[in-house]
Amino acid sequence: MPGTAAQDSGDGAGQRIHLLDLDVDQLRTWLVEQGQQGFRAKQIWNWIYQRRASTFAEMTDLPKKLREQLEQHFVIFRASEVEAVCSSDGTDKLLVRLFDGGEVECVLLRDGIRRSICVSSQVGCAMGCVFCASGLDGVDRNLTRGEILEQMLRLQSRLDEDERLSHIVMMGMGEPLANLDRVLPALDEARSPEGLGISPRRITISTVGLPPAIDRLSKHGVPYNLAVSLHAPNNELRTQLVPVNKRIGIKAVLDAADRYFEANGRRLTFEYVLLGGLNDSDDCAHQLLGILRRRNVMLNVIPYNPVAGLPYVTPSSKAIADFKDILVSGGVNVMFRQRKGSEIDAACGQLRRNRQSV
Ligand code: SAH
Protein backbone atom coordinates (compact mmCIF):
# COMPACT_ATOMS: atom_id res chain seq x y z
CA MET A 1 0.00 0.00 0.00
CA PRO A 2 2.08 2.93 -1.20
CA GLY A 3 -0.12 5.41 0.69
CA THR A 4 1.09 4.27 4.10
CA ALA A 5 4.69 5.08 3.33
CA ALA A 6 3.80 8.43 1.83
CA GLN A 7 2.03 9.42 5.04
CA ASP A 8 4.97 8.35 7.05
CA SER A 9 7.31 10.49 5.02
CA GLY A 10 5.02 13.45 5.51
CA ASP A 11 4.98 13.39 9.29
CA GLY A 12 8.65 12.83 9.88
CA ALA A 13 10.11 9.64 8.49
CA GLY A 14 12.72 9.76 11.20
CA GLN A 15 10.10 8.48 13.64
CA ARG A 16 9.90 5.01 12.21
CA ILE A 17 12.81 2.88 11.01
CA HIS A 18 12.90 1.73 7.41
CA LEU A 19 12.80 -2.03 7.96
CA LEU A 20 14.55 -2.67 4.63
CA ASP A 21 17.64 -0.94 6.04
CA LEU A 22 18.02 -3.89 8.44
CA ASP A 23 19.17 -7.43 7.77
CA VAL A 24 17.36 -10.39 9.28
CA ASP A 25 19.84 -10.72 12.16
CA GLN A 26 19.31 -7.09 13.17
CA LEU A 27 15.55 -7.61 13.21
CA ARG A 28 16.02 -10.78 15.29
CA THR A 29 18.07 -8.83 17.83
CA TRP A 30 15.38 -6.17 18.02
CA LEU A 31 12.64 -8.79 18.48
CA VAL A 32 14.53 -10.51 21.29
CA GLU A 33 15.11 -7.15 22.98
CA GLN A 34 11.36 -6.63 22.88
CA GLY A 35 10.80 -9.99 24.56
CA GLN A 36 9.60 -11.59 21.32
CA GLN A 37 10.72 -14.90 19.84
CA GLY A 38 13.69 -14.65 17.49
CA PHE A 39 12.24 -17.01 14.88
CA ARG A 40 9.67 -14.36 14.02
CA ALA A 41 12.39 -12.48 12.13
CA LYS A 42 12.53 -15.14 9.40
CA GLN A 43 8.76 -15.27 9.31
CA ILE A 44 8.61 -11.52 8.70
CA TRP A 45 11.37 -11.76 6.08
CA ASN A 46 9.40 -14.47 4.31
CA TRP A 47 6.35 -12.21 4.23
CA ILE A 48 8.27 -9.30 2.79
CA TYR A 49 10.68 -10.90 0.34
CA GLN A 50 8.83 -14.03 -0.77
CA ARG A 51 5.16 -13.31 -0.12
CA ARG A 52 5.49 -9.70 -1.22
CA ALA A 53 3.76 -8.09 1.77
CA SER A 54 4.18 -4.34 2.10
CA THR A 55 2.25 -3.92 5.37
CA PHE A 56 2.41 -5.69 8.72
CA ALA A 57 -1.38 -6.05 8.70
CA GLU A 58 -1.02 -8.66 5.94
CA MET A 59 1.15 -10.87 8.15
CA THR A 60 -1.81 -12.78 9.51
CA ASP A 61 0.15 -15.54 11.21
CA LEU A 62 1.88 -13.06 13.54
CA PRO A 63 0.23 -12.26 16.89
CA LYS A 64 -1.82 -9.08 16.59
CA LYS A 65 0.14 -7.40 19.36
CA LEU A 66 3.43 -8.02 17.57
CA ARG A 67 2.02 -6.65 14.34
CA GLU A 68 1.05 -3.47 16.20
CA GLN A 69 4.46 -3.22 17.79
CA LEU A 70 6.14 -3.60 14.41
CA GLU A 71 3.84 -1.00 12.93
CA GLN A 72 4.86 1.48 15.62
CA HIS A 73 8.57 1.02 15.08
CA PHE A 74 9.03 0.22 11.43
CA VAL A 75 7.83 1.07 7.97
CA ILE A 76 8.30 -1.39 5.09
CA PHE A 77 7.82 0.94 2.10
CA ARG A 78 9.07 4.37 2.96
CA ALA A 79 8.83 6.02 -0.48
CA SER A 80 5.79 6.58 -2.64
CA GLU A 81 5.06 5.84 -6.27
CA VAL A 82 4.62 9.04 -8.25
CA GLU A 83 4.09 7.44 -11.60
CA ALA A 84 4.00 4.01 -13.23
CA VAL A 85 4.30 3.90 -17.00
CA CYS A 86 3.72 0.61 -18.77
CA SER A 87 4.75 0.01 -22.35
CA SER A 88 3.14 -2.46 -24.74
CA ASP A 89 6.37 -4.49 -24.92
CA GLY A 90 6.00 -5.49 -21.25
CA THR A 91 8.23 -2.83 -19.71
CA ASP A 92 7.02 -1.04 -16.57
CA LYS A 93 8.83 2.02 -15.35
CA LEU A 94 8.28 3.50 -11.91
CA LEU A 95 9.09 6.97 -10.69
CA VAL A 96 9.55 6.73 -6.94
CA ARG A 97 9.54 9.71 -4.55
CA LEU A 98 11.76 9.26 -1.53
CA PHE A 99 10.91 10.49 1.97
CA ASP A 100 12.86 13.71 1.41
CA GLY A 101 11.31 14.47 -1.98
CA GLY A 102 14.16 13.11 -4.12
CA GLU A 103 13.03 11.04 -7.08
CA VAL A 104 14.51 7.94 -8.69
CA GLU A 105 13.46 5.59 -11.44
CA CYS A 106 13.38 1.82 -11.70
CA VAL A 107 12.22 -0.51 -14.44
CA LEU A 108 10.77 -4.01 -14.83
CA LEU A 109 11.47 -5.69 -18.17
CA ARG A 110 9.59 -8.81 -19.26
CA ASP A 111 11.41 -10.77 -21.93
CA GLY A 112 10.40 -14.39 -22.58
CA ILE A 113 10.69 -16.05 -19.20
CA ARG A 114 13.09 -13.38 -17.93
CA ARG A 115 11.85 -10.85 -15.43
CA SER A 116 14.67 -8.34 -15.14
CA ILE A 117 14.75 -5.20 -13.07
CA CYS A 118 16.88 -2.11 -13.46
CA VAL A 119 17.50 -0.28 -10.20
CA SER A 120 18.91 3.14 -9.23
CA SER A 121 21.72 3.64 -6.73
CA GLN A 122 21.78 7.45 -6.29
CA VAL A 123 19.52 10.48 -6.68
CA GLY A 124 21.05 12.03 -9.78
CA CYS A 125 24.63 11.21 -10.75
CA ALA A 126 27.98 12.96 -10.42
CA MET A 127 29.69 11.35 -13.42
CA GLY A 128 28.34 13.86 -15.94
CA CYS A 129 28.24 11.63 -19.06
CA VAL A 130 27.15 14.18 -21.64
CA PHE A 131 24.37 12.12 -23.26
CA CYS A 132 22.73 10.86 -20.04
CA ALA A 133 19.66 12.45 -18.47
CA SER A 134 20.46 11.27 -14.92
CA GLY A 135 23.51 13.42 -14.40
CA LEU A 136 22.40 16.67 -15.99
CA ASP A 137 21.82 18.24 -12.58
CA GLY A 138 24.59 16.44 -10.71
CA VAL A 139 24.10 14.13 -7.73
CA ASP A 140 21.91 14.86 -4.69
CA ARG A 141 22.73 11.90 -2.48
CA ASN A 142 23.34 8.19 -2.18
CA LEU A 143 20.38 5.86 -1.78
CA THR A 144 20.23 3.79 1.39
CA ARG A 145 20.24 -0.02 1.50
CA GLY A 146 16.50 0.12 2.15
CA GLU A 147 15.76 2.51 -0.70
CA ILE A 148 17.60 0.26 -3.16
CA LEU A 149 15.73 -2.82 -1.90
CA GLU A 150 12.40 -1.01 -1.91
CA GLN A 151 12.72 -0.45 -5.67
CA MET A 152 13.29 -4.19 -6.12
CA LEU A 153 10.30 -5.10 -3.96
CA ARG A 154 8.00 -2.57 -5.61
CA LEU A 155 8.89 -4.01 -9.01
CA GLN A 156 8.54 -7.59 -7.74
CA SER A 157 5.03 -6.78 -6.47
CA ARG A 158 4.01 -5.99 -10.06
CA LEU A 159 4.59 -9.60 -11.11
CA ASP A 160 1.87 -12.22 -11.23
CA GLU A 161 1.93 -14.67 -8.34
CA ASP A 162 3.54 -17.42 -10.41
CA GLU A 163 6.25 -15.13 -11.84
CA ARG A 164 9.66 -14.63 -10.22
CA LEU A 165 12.28 -11.95 -10.58
CA SER A 166 15.18 -13.50 -12.48
CA HIS A 167 17.76 -10.76 -13.10
CA ILE A 168 18.87 -7.51 -11.50
CA VAL A 169 20.89 -4.80 -13.22
CA MET A 170 22.28 -1.86 -11.26
CA MET A 171 21.92 0.36 -14.30
CA GLY A 172 19.38 2.92 -13.21
CA MET A 173 20.20 6.41 -12.02
CA GLY A 174 23.52 6.97 -10.32
CA GLU A 175 26.95 5.38 -10.20
CA PRO A 176 26.68 2.19 -8.11
CA LEU A 177 30.43 2.06 -7.52
CA ALA A 178 30.27 5.50 -5.89
CA ASN A 179 27.82 4.04 -3.34
CA LEU A 180 29.20 0.56 -2.70
CA ASP A 181 28.64 0.81 1.07
CA ARG A 182 24.90 0.63 0.45
CA VAL A 183 24.77 -1.17 -2.89
CA LEU A 184 26.65 -4.23 -1.58
CA PRO A 185 24.43 -4.76 1.52
CA ALA A 186 21.33 -4.35 -0.68
CA LEU A 187 22.69 -6.96 -3.12
CA ASP A 188 23.56 -9.26 -0.18
CA GLU A 189 19.83 -9.28 0.57
CA ALA A 190 18.90 -9.67 -3.10
CA ARG A 191 20.96 -12.85 -3.37
CA SER A 192 20.29 -14.26 0.10
CA PRO A 193 17.94 -17.28 0.11
CA GLU A 194 15.92 -15.53 2.82
CA GLY A 195 15.80 -12.38 0.70
CA LEU A 196 15.08 -12.39 -3.02
CA GLY A 197 17.22 -15.47 -3.67
CA ILE A 198 18.70 -14.27 -6.97
CA SER A 199 22.07 -15.76 -7.93
CA PRO A 200 24.91 -13.22 -8.22
CA ARG A 201 25.44 -14.60 -11.71
CA ARG A 202 22.14 -12.97 -12.59
CA ILE A 203 23.06 -9.66 -11.04
CA THR A 204 24.96 -7.04 -13.04
CA ILE A 205 26.65 -3.94 -11.70
CA SER A 206 27.19 -1.27 -14.34
CA THR A 207 29.90 1.32 -13.81
CA VAL A 208 31.44 4.27 -15.55
CA GLY A 209 34.72 2.63 -14.48
CA LEU A 210 36.14 3.69 -11.11
CA PRO A 211 39.31 1.56 -10.66
CA PRO A 212 39.66 1.58 -6.84
CA ALA A 213 35.99 0.62 -6.46
CA ILE A 214 36.31 -2.10 -9.12
CA ASP A 215 39.24 -3.48 -7.11
CA ARG A 216 37.15 -3.41 -3.97
CA LEU A 217 34.48 -5.38 -5.82
CA SER A 218 37.12 -7.89 -6.98
CA LYS A 219 38.21 -8.44 -3.37
CA HIS A 220 34.59 -8.72 -2.22
CA GLY A 221 34.66 -12.01 -4.10
CA VAL A 222 30.98 -12.37 -5.02
CA PRO A 223 30.77 -13.19 -8.74
CA TYR A 224 28.50 -10.39 -9.90
CA ASN A 225 28.64 -9.50 -13.57
CA LEU A 226 30.54 -6.30 -14.18
CA ALA A 227 29.52 -3.99 -17.01
CA VAL A 228 31.86 -1.12 -17.84
CA SER A 229 30.48 1.88 -19.72
CA LEU A 230 33.30 2.56 -22.15
CA HIS A 231 31.58 4.62 -24.89
CA ALA A 232 34.81 5.57 -26.67
CA PRO A 233 37.99 3.78 -27.77
CA ASN A 234 40.51 6.54 -26.99
CA ASN A 235 41.09 9.01 -24.17
CA GLU A 236 40.40 12.14 -26.16
CA LEU A 237 36.93 11.05 -27.18
CA ARG A 238 36.14 9.32 -23.89
CA THR A 239 36.98 12.41 -21.87
CA GLN A 240 34.67 14.39 -24.14
CA LEU A 241 31.76 11.97 -23.56
CA VAL A 242 32.55 10.75 -20.03
CA PRO A 243 34.21 13.67 -18.22
CA VAL A 244 35.46 11.62 -15.23
CA ASN A 245 37.74 9.89 -17.70
CA LYS A 246 40.00 12.92 -17.60
CA ARG A 247 41.49 11.97 -14.26
CA ILE A 248 41.23 8.18 -14.73
CA GLY A 249 42.08 7.26 -18.31
CA ILE A 250 41.01 4.21 -20.32
CA LYS A 251 44.07 2.14 -19.44
CA ALA A 252 43.38 2.25 -15.70
CA VAL A 253 39.75 1.29 -16.32
CA LEU A 254 40.71 -1.66 -18.53
CA ASP A 255 43.39 -2.86 -16.10
CA ALA A 256 40.90 -2.82 -13.21
CA ALA A 257 38.33 -4.65 -15.36
CA ASP A 258 40.97 -7.29 -16.23
CA ARG A 259 41.74 -7.75 -12.52
CA TYR A 260 38.02 -8.22 -11.87
CA PHE A 261 37.89 -10.91 -14.55
CA GLU A 262 40.92 -12.65 -13.05
CA ALA A 263 39.42 -12.55 -9.56
CA ASN A 264 35.91 -13.68 -10.43
CA GLY A 265 36.11 -15.45 -13.78
CA ARG A 266 32.99 -13.66 -14.95
CA ARG A 267 33.02 -12.52 -18.56
CA LEU A 268 33.13 -8.73 -18.65
CA THR A 269 30.59 -6.62 -20.48
CA PHE A 270 31.53 -3.31 -22.06
CA GLU A 271 28.77 -0.86 -22.86
CA TYR A 272 29.03 1.53 -25.77
CA VAL A 273 26.33 4.11 -26.38
CA LEU A 274 26.40 4.82 -30.10
CA LEU A 275 26.12 8.54 -30.84
CA GLY A 276 25.66 9.54 -34.48
CA GLY A 277 28.71 11.32 -35.93
CA LEU A 278 30.61 11.17 -32.62
CA ASN A 279 31.74 7.66 -31.75
CA ASP A 280 30.19 5.55 -34.52
CA SER A 281 32.84 5.84 -37.24
CA ASP A 282 34.69 2.91 -38.85
CA ASP A 283 37.83 4.28 -37.25
CA CYS A 284 36.24 4.12 -33.77
CA ALA A 285 35.06 0.57 -34.48
CA HIS A 286 38.61 -0.49 -35.47
CA GLN A 287 40.15 1.15 -32.40
CA LEU A 288 37.56 -0.55 -30.21
CA LEU A 289 38.34 -3.85 -31.86
CA GLY A 290 41.99 -3.33 -30.93
CA ILE A 291 41.00 -2.97 -27.27
CA LEU A 292 38.49 -5.81 -27.07
CA ARG A 293 39.94 -8.47 -29.36
CA ARG A 294 42.34 -9.86 -26.78
CA ARG A 295 39.77 -9.92 -24.00
CA ASN A 296 36.99 -12.31 -23.06
CA VAL A 297 34.17 -9.79 -23.23
CA MET A 298 30.69 -9.06 -24.44
CA LEU A 299 30.22 -5.70 -26.13
CA ASN A 300 26.82 -4.19 -25.59
CA VAL A 301 26.17 -1.53 -28.21
CA ILE A 302 23.31 0.78 -27.25
CA PRO A 303 21.98 3.18 -29.88
CA TYR A 304 21.57 6.58 -28.20
CA ASN A 305 18.11 7.10 -26.75
CA PRO A 306 17.30 10.78 -27.34
CA VAL A 307 17.09 13.04 -24.30
CA ALA A 308 15.08 16.24 -24.68
CA GLY A 309 17.33 19.27 -24.92
CA LEU A 310 20.51 17.37 -25.75
CA PRO A 311 22.10 17.79 -29.19
CA TYR A 312 23.00 14.13 -29.85
CA VAL A 313 21.48 11.90 -32.51
CA THR A 314 20.81 8.19 -32.85
CA PRO A 315 22.90 6.78 -35.72
CA SER A 316 21.14 5.50 -38.82
CA SER A 317 20.42 1.77 -39.05
CA LYS A 318 23.18 1.52 -41.65
CA ALA A 319 25.75 3.20 -39.39
CA ILE A 320 24.76 0.87 -36.55
CA ALA A 321 25.04 -2.21 -38.80
CA ASP A 322 28.42 -1.10 -40.21
CA PHE A 323 29.81 -0.51 -36.71
CA LYS A 324 28.60 -3.93 -35.62
CA ASP A 325 30.01 -5.70 -38.70
CA ILE A 326 33.54 -4.44 -38.07
CA LEU A 327 33.50 -5.74 -34.51
CA VAL A 328 31.81 -9.03 -35.31
CA SER A 329 34.19 -9.79 -38.18
CA GLY A 330 37.05 -9.04 -35.80
CA GLY A 331 35.77 -11.78 -33.48
CA VAL A 332 34.14 -9.70 -30.72
CA ASN A 333 30.91 -10.95 -29.12
CA VAL A 334 28.49 -8.12 -29.78
CA MET A 335 25.03 -7.68 -28.41
CA PHE A 336 22.72 -4.92 -29.50
CA ARG A 337 20.45 -3.87 -26.70
CA GLN A 338 16.88 -3.95 -27.91
CA ARG A 339 15.23 -0.64 -27.49
CA LYS A 340 12.82 -2.05 -25.00
CA GLY A 341 10.90 0.56 -23.14
CA SER A 342 12.10 3.47 -25.28
CA GLU A 343 8.50 4.56 -25.79
CA ILE A 344 8.26 5.11 -22.02
CA ASP A 345 11.57 6.93 -21.53
CA ALA A 346 13.20 3.79 -20.14
CA ALA A 347 16.74 5.11 -20.55
CA CYS A 348 18.38 6.27 -17.40
CA GLY A 349 16.87 9.34 -15.76
CA GLN A 350 14.56 10.32 -18.57
CA LEU A 351 11.20 9.88 -16.88
CA ARG A 352 12.24 12.07 -13.96
CA ARG A 353 13.67 14.67 -16.32
CA ASN A 354 10.67 14.78 -18.60
CA ARG A 355 8.32 15.23 -15.66
CA GLN A 356 10.42 18.04 -14.28
CA SER A 357 10.28 19.85 -17.58
CA VAL A 358 6.45 19.77 -17.87
N1 SAH B 1 26.66 4.93 -13.86
C2 SAH B 1 26.57 3.60 -14.35
C3 SAH B 1 25.17 3.01 -14.38
C4 SAH B 1 24.06 3.89 -14.87
S5 SAH B 1 23.99 4.27 -16.60
C6 SAH B 1 27.26 3.50 -15.70
O7 SAH B 1 27.76 4.51 -16.18
O8 SAH B 1 27.33 2.42 -16.24
C9 SAH B 1 23.53 2.76 -17.34
C10 SAH B 1 23.80 2.71 -18.85
O11 SAH B 1 22.85 3.51 -19.57
C12 SAH B 1 25.17 3.24 -19.19
O13 SAH B 1 25.86 2.40 -20.06
C14 SAH B 1 24.82 4.55 -19.83
O15 SAH B 1 25.82 5.01 -20.66
C16 SAH B 1 23.53 4.25 -20.55
N17 SAH B 1 22.80 5.46 -20.97
C18 SAH B 1 22.66 6.59 -20.29
N19 SAH B 1 21.96 7.52 -21.01
C20 SAH B 1 21.66 6.93 -22.19
C21 SAH B 1 20.97 7.38 -23.37
N22 SAH B 1 20.46 8.59 -23.45
N23 SAH B 1 20.85 6.51 -24.39
C24 SAH B 1 21.38 5.26 -24.30
N25 SAH B 1 22.02 4.79 -23.22
C26 SAH B 1 22.18 5.61 -22.17
pLDDT digits (tens, 9 = 90+) for 163-214: 999 999 999 999 999 999 999 999 999 999 999 999 999 999 999 999 999 9
> Is 163 annotated in the active site?
no
Determine the longest span between alpha carbons in the chain, in angstroms: 69
**At 252, is the secondary structure helix, strand, or coil?**
helix
Amino acid, single-letter form, for residue 324? K
Q: Which pLDDT score, from 0 to 100, does residue 1 have? A: 34
59/61 Cα distance (integer angstroms)? 6
Q: Which pLDDT score, from 0 to 100, does residue 348 have? A: 55
The answer to whether 232 touches 238, Cβ cutoff 8 Å, is yes
Of 107, 127, 129, which is best to mutate to test ligand 1, by the most ligand atoms within 8 angstroms of its C-beta?
129
Q: Which pLDDT score, from 0 to 100, does residue 5 have? A: 39
Q: Which pLDDT score, from 0 to 100, does residue 355 have? A: 57
Q: Which pLDDT score, from 0 to 100, does residue 8 have? A: 44
Q: Which pLDDT score, from 0 to 100, does residue 347 have? A: 55
Ligand 1 atom closest to residue 227's alpha carbon, by position in its atom list = 8
> Is 348 annotated in the active site?
yes
Q: Of all helices (H) and strands (E), which one includes residue 91?
A: strand 91-97
| Reported pTM | 0.93
Question: Which residues are within 8 A (CB) of 119 and not within 5 positions of it... i.e. 6 or more apart?
Answer: 106, 148, 151, 152, 155, 168, 169, 170, 171, 172
Q: Which residues line ligand 1 (CB under 6 A)?
A: 127, 129, 131-132, 171, 175, 206-208, 229, 271, 273, 302, 304-305, 307, 347-348
Which regions of the chain are under pLDDT 50? 1-13, 357-358
**At 216, is the secondary structure helix, strand, or coil?**
helix
